[in-house]
């Protein structure tokens, strides 16, 4: 995965955190990020997609999360909530991205921004969401991993 896309996710976590805490207009927050040059090394188009896509799909994302979290979504630490919502957004709507990439990127975001140990929480929840939402992909991946032959 490209560093520019990873940086877009990092900025999206920060921007979604700000949106969750302030309820500020998405375009105003995005403009701040652009003006402060905080997207300099980020894939701006991907930042825009995630940052606007998560709020637009919030009901669908939270519905996919709810069965696997141990408390109401609004009670989850706001940093972890932003990371989980990005991960679920990608699991649900970016089927071009392998589920393992989505989970690994989310774990790294939690290590970067979350409280100590939050990456384990994020990993556990997104793994369960992936098993439900990407069951076919996981099944194919697992059956492919059992083959010992290197030839395709």
Residue 20 burial (CB < 10 Å; 0-12/13-18/19+)? middle
Q: Is residue 50 part of a domain?
A: yes
Residue 1 has pLDDT above 70, yes or no: no
Are 138 and 131 contacting, i.e. CB atoms less than 8 angstroms apart? yes
How big is the chain by its Cα radius of gyration, in Å?
16
Answer yes or no: is 104 within a domain: yes
Q: What is the pLDDT of residues 110-139, one digit of tens each?
A: 999 999 999 999 999 999 999 999 988 888
Query: If pLDDT is split at 50, 70 and 90, which confidence band does 143 have?
Result: confident
Share of the chain above pLDDT 70, in %: 94
Classify residue 103: in a domain, yes or no: yes
Domain with 42 in it: 3-144
- Altogether, the residues listed in the chain come to a count of 152
Residue 66 lies inside a defined structural domain of this protein? yes
The model carries a pTM of 0.91
Within-domain flag for 132: yes
Comparing 146 with 125, the larger pLDDT belongs to 125
What's residue 146's pLDDT? 60
Centroid of chain to Cα 99: 11
What is the CATH number for 40? 1.10.940.10
* Lookup: tokens for 8: 């877009």
């Amino acid at each position: 995965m490209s560093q520019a896309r990873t940086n877009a996710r990092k900025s999206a976590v920060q921007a979604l955190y700000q949106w969750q805490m302030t309820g500020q207009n998405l375009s105003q927050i995005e403009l701040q990020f652009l003006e402060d040059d905080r997207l300099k090394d980020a894939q701006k188009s991907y930042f825009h997609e995630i940052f606007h896509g998560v709020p637009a799909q919030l009901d669908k994302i939270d519905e996919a999360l709810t069965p696997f979290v141990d408390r109401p979504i609004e009670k989850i630490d706001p940093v972890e909530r932003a990371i989980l919502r990005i991960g679920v957004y990608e699991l649900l709507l970016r089927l071009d991205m392998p589920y393992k990439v989505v989970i690994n990127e989310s774990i790294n975001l939690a290590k970067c921004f979350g409280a100590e140990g939050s990456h384990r929480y994020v990993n556990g929840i997104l793994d369960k969401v992936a098993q439900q939402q990407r069951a076919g992909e996981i099944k194919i991946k697992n059956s492919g991993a059992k083959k010992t032959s290197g030839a395709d």
